[in-house]
């Protein structure tokens, strides 16, 4: 279904390119197989890992990281990076928790933050409609529309939050918060031209701070059976799969996906072909924010509590999954399946190290070593090929 590793430069010769493509598809799976094979040398791993009891645990453990890595893939493919996903996850999580339980009450500013993407979308639609008739509409008009929409939607949301939301509503609220953070990241990076590292580092700090500020640093208990089923067994698996399939389709079957890759390949050239680089770059960050919020729903549902410290270090796990999956941090190539396999590989490594009983301090050393080694071998292969 996927033609993974779509490179933006179309100049390469056909046969070579096809060979490279086949390898790129197999590559991430090879790494996963190799890791499993190496661990299988250990008797305890053989006895415990390859069982019907344990294999599903691997998915349960990596579900959240798979979702985050899919979003991260889009950003990395544009040549950017998103360091804010862990903090955005926490903010979306407590947002959902407060919307559901009402303890502590959700602050009104959170409703206005969640209203931002809706207002922005509204302005975009109006602009598209007007552009057909009006060559240049005054910026004041758009600003006016934005302010009105933001105020109306924000007030409606704030009112709805006061009464407490149903589970579905609270999930939508969480997703809106995630999208809102992603949209801000995207706009600052693409229109503000602030480097992605700086922008998302700032958002990482801001979202974590807002998480603590909104909840007065208290974790939120969210013990709703209807929500909690989402974090277990099959539902979690289905949500993660849906995100992977959705991401793959978007990347391979829609123009937006091709543009994202093209921007990472050569931004200037893409701009010259008339593609709105700003739009599609923003889209990548928006998707990353959305995935962070989906991750928040999964984690909150699983543990029945929205921790203010949730997702600490999650951005690094997601980046590691993307990289170990074979997507280049310089952008322009990669596939969503890479992210899936990468996330699974990371989980196999971390849980494998526990299974075979490696000393805690050494576990980190080995994980870090494997990540660097994988990318190092990739680089050697590229230089030769």
Residues that bind another protein (CB under 8 A): 44, 48-49, 51, 53-54, 57, 60-61, 64, 205, 208-209, 212, 216-219, 221, 223, 232-233, 299, 302-305, 307-313, 347, 350-351, 354-357, 360-361
- Contact assessment for residue 349 and residue 125, using Cβ atoms and an 8 Å cutoff: no
Q: Kindly state the smallest distance separating residue 9's Cβ from another protein, in Å.
A: 40
Q: Kindly state the smallest distance separating residue 385's Cβ from another protein, in Å.
A: 36
Asked whether the bond before 121 is cis by omega within 30 degrees of 0, the reply is no
Closest CA to 301 of 63, 91, 93, 59: 93
Residue nearer to another protein on the CB measure, 103 or 271 = 103
Residue nearer to another protein on the CB measure, 219 or 266 = 219
Q: What's the CA gap between 303 and 305, in Å, rounded? A: 5
Residue nearer to another protein on the CB measure, 94 or 263 = 94
Q: Kindly state the smallest distance separating residue 37's Cβ from another protein, in Å.
A: 19
Cβ count near 15 (within 10 Å): 8
Task: Provide the 3-class DSSP secondary structure of residue 221.
Answer: strand
Q: Kindly state the smallest distance separating residue 172's Cβ from another protein, in Å.
A: 23
Q: Kindly state the smallest distance separating residue 308's Cβ from another protein, in Å.
A: 6
Cα-based angle 336, 181, 207 (whole degrees, multiple of 5): 110
Residue nearer to another protein on the CB measure, 223 or 330 = 223
Residue nearer to another protein on the CB measure, 22 or 205 = 205
Cβ count near 264 (within 10 Å): 28
Q: Kindly state the smallest distance separating residue 95's Cβ from another protein, in Å.
A: 17
Instruction: Give 233-275 as a DSSP string.
Output: HHHHHHHHHHHHHHHHHHHHHSHHHHHHHHHHH-HHHHHHTT-
Task: Provide the 3-class DSSP secondary structure of residue 305.
Answer: strand
Residue nearer to another protein on the CB measure, 155 or 237 = 237
Q: Kindly state the smallest distance separating residue 91's Cβ from another protein, in Å.
A: 13
Closest CA to 50 of 67, 25, 33: 33
Residue nearer to another protein on the CB measure, 176 or 348 = 348
Measured in residues, the chain has a length of: 385
């Amino acid at each position: 279904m996927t033609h993974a590793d779509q490179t933006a430069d179309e100049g390469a010769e056909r046969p070579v390119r096809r060979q490279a493509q086949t390898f790129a598809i197999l590559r991430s799976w090879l790494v996963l197989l190799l890791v499993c094979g190496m661990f299988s040398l250990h008797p305890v791993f053989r006895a415990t890992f390859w069982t019907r009891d344990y294999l599903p645990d691997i998915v349960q453990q990596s579900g959240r990281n798979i979702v985050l890595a899919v979003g991260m893939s889009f950003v990395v493919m544009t040549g950017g990076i998103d360091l804010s996903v862990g903090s955005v996850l926490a903010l979306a999580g407590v947002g959902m928790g407060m919307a559901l339980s009402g303890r502590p009450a959700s602050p009104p500013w959170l409703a206005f933050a969640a209203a931002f993407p809706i207002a922005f979308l509204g302005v975009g639609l109006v602009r598209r409609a007007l552009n057909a008739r009006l060559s240049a509409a005054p910026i004041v008009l758009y600003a006016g529309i934005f302010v009105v929409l933001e105020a109306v939607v924000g007030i409606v949301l704030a009112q709805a939050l006061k009464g407490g939301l149903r589970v579905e509503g609270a999930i939508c609220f969480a997703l809106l918060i995630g999208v809102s953070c992603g949209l801000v990241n995207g706009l600052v990076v693409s229109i503000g031209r602030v480097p992605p590292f700086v922008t998302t580092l700032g958002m990482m700090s801001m979202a974590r701070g807002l998480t603590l500020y909104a909840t007065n640093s208290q974790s939120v208990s969210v013990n709703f059976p209807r929500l909690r089923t989402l974090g277990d067994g099959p539902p979690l698996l289905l949500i993660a799969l849906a995100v992977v399939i959705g991401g793959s389709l978007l990347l391979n079957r829609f123009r937006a996906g091709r543009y994202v890759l093209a921007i990472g390949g050569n931004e200037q050239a893409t701009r010259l072909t008339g593609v709105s680089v700003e739009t599609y770059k923003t889209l990548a960050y928006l998707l990353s924010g959305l995935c962070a919020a989906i991750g928040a729903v999964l984690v909150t549902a699983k543990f029945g509590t929205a921790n203010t410290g949730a997702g600490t270090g999650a951005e690094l796990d997601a980046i590691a999954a993307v990289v170990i999956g074979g997507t280049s941090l310089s952008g322009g190539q990669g596939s969503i399946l890479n992210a899936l396999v990468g996330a699974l590989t990371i989980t196999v490594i971390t849980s494998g190290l526990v299974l075979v009983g490696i000393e805690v301090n050494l576990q980190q050393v080995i994980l870090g070593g494997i990540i660097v080694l994988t990318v190092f071998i990739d680089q050697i292969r590229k230089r030769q090929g």
